[in-house]
A and B are shown apart, each in its own frame.
Chain A
Amino acid sequence: MRIPSLFGSFNHSVRSMQQAQYALTVHGSNIAHANDKDYTRRDVLPFTESFRKGPGIVRLRDRFIDDQFRRTAGKLGDAEVRQSVLTKVEDIFGDPVNGGLRSALDGFFDAWQGLAENPSDGVARIEVINKGSVFAEQIRSTYRQLADVEQTVNEELLTRVDEVNNLVSRVFDLNIKISNLSRNFMDDAELRDQRDVALDRLAELTGAMAMDQPDGTVRVVVGSTVVLDGPITTKLLLTNTVDGPTPTWAGYTTPTYNGSGTIEGLVTVRNGDLKTLKKHIDDLGRSVGNAVNDQHLLGYPLGGGVPEAFFNFSAAPADITVNPDITPATLAVAGTSTGLPSDGDNARLIAALADKPIIESPIITGKQEGVRSFYRNLIGWIGTQSAAATQDMKAAEAHKQITEGQRQAQWGVSLDEEVAHLTMEQKAFAAAARVITVMDQMLDDLLNAVRR
Chain B
Amino acid sequence: MLMNQSLYDLGRLRQNYAKAQASVNGRVLERPSEDPQRVVEAMDLSGAKLRLERATRSGEDAREWLVAAESSVSNMIDRLQAVFEVTVQAGSPSTQEPESREALARQVEIIRESLMRELNNQHREQYLFAGWKTDTQPFSNGPGGSAAYTVGDNQLIQRDIAPGLSIAVNVPGSKLVTPVDFMKTLTDIAADLRAGRTLDVTGPRAIEVKKALDGLNLIRADLGIRQRQVSQYEEFAQDAVLVLEERLTDLTGGDLETAVLRMTEAQSAYQAALASFAKTLPTSLIDFMLR
Contact = CB atoms under 8 A, between A and B. Distances in A.
Interface of A: 37, 86-87, 90, 93, 95-98, 102, 106, 110, 113-114, 117, 120, 340-343, 348, 372, 375-377, 379-380, 382-384, 386-387, 389-390, 401, 404-405, 408-409, 412, 415-416, 419-420, 423
Interface of B is mostly: helix
Contact of B4 (A90, A93, A341, A405): A405
Nearest to B158: A348
Nearest to A120: B135
B278 interface: no
B102 interface: no
B64 to A, nearest CB: 11
B168 to A, nearest CB: 12
B44 A340 contact: no
B132 A340 contact: yes
A419 B4 contact: no
A65 to B, nearest CB: 13
A420 to B, nearest CB: 6
B215 to A, nearest CB: 24
B30 to A, nearest CB: 7
Contacts, number: 119
A376 B40 contact: yes
B32 A341 contact: no
Contact of A408 (B4, B44, B132, B289): B4
Interface in B1-42: 1, 4-5, 8, 29-37, 39-40, 42
Interface in B236-250: 248
Contacts of A405: 1, 4-5
A93 B32 contact: yes
Contacts of A86: 33
B94 interface: no
Interface stretch (B46-54, B141-149, B191-199, B261-269): B46-54
A246 B287 CA distance: 56
Given A97-B43, A106-B50, A405-B1, A341 B132 contact: yes
A340 B155 CA distance: 10
A343 to B, nearest CB: 5
5 pairs of A and B residues whose beta carbons are closest in the complex: A383-B32, A383-B36, A386-B33, A408-B1, A340-B132
Nearest to B61: A117
B1 A412 contact: yes
B208 interface: no
B126 A376 contact: no
Given A97-B42, A379-B43, A415 B33 contact: no
Contact of A96 (B29, B133, B134, B155): B29
Of B132, B153, B155, most buried by chain A (CB within 10 Å of CB) is B132
Contacts of A420: 285
Contacts of A87: 31, 33
Contact of A110 (B31, B34, B50): B50
Interface string B43-84: 110110010001000100100000000000000000000000
A95 B28 CA distance: 11
B96 interface: no
A106 B47 contact: yes
Contacts of B284: 415-416, 419
A95 B253 CA distance: 13
A404 B7 CA distance: 13
B157 interface: yes
Nearest to B45: A97
Contact of A341 (B30, B39, B134, B158): B134
A390 B30 CA distance: 15
A380 B58 CA distance: 31
A90 B46 CA distance: 19
A405 B284 CA distance: 19
A408 B5 CA distance: 10
B220 interface: no
Contacts of A340: 131-134, 153, 155
Contact of B135 (A341, A386, A390, A416): A341
Of A341, A379, A405, A415, most buried by chain B (CB within 10 Å of CB) is A341
B159 interface: yes
A29 to B, nearest CB: 16
B282 interface: yes
A96 B43 contact: yes
27 contacts: A37-B4, A86-B33, A90-B32, A96-B29, A96-B31, A117-B61, A340-B153, A341-B126, A341-B134, A341-B135, A342-B131, A342-B157, A343-B155, A376-B44, A383-B31, A383-B39, A384-B33, A386-B31, A389-B33, A405-B4, A408-B1, A415-B286, A416-B284, A416-B285, A419-B284, A419-B285, A419-B289
B217 interface: no
B6 to A, nearest CB: 11
A180 B201 CA distance: 132
Given A341-B126, A380-B32, 8 more contacts: A87-B31, A102-B43, A113-B58, A341-B132, A341-B133, A342-B155, A380-B39, A380-B40
B160 interface: yes
Contacts of A383: 31-36, 39-40
B229 interface: no
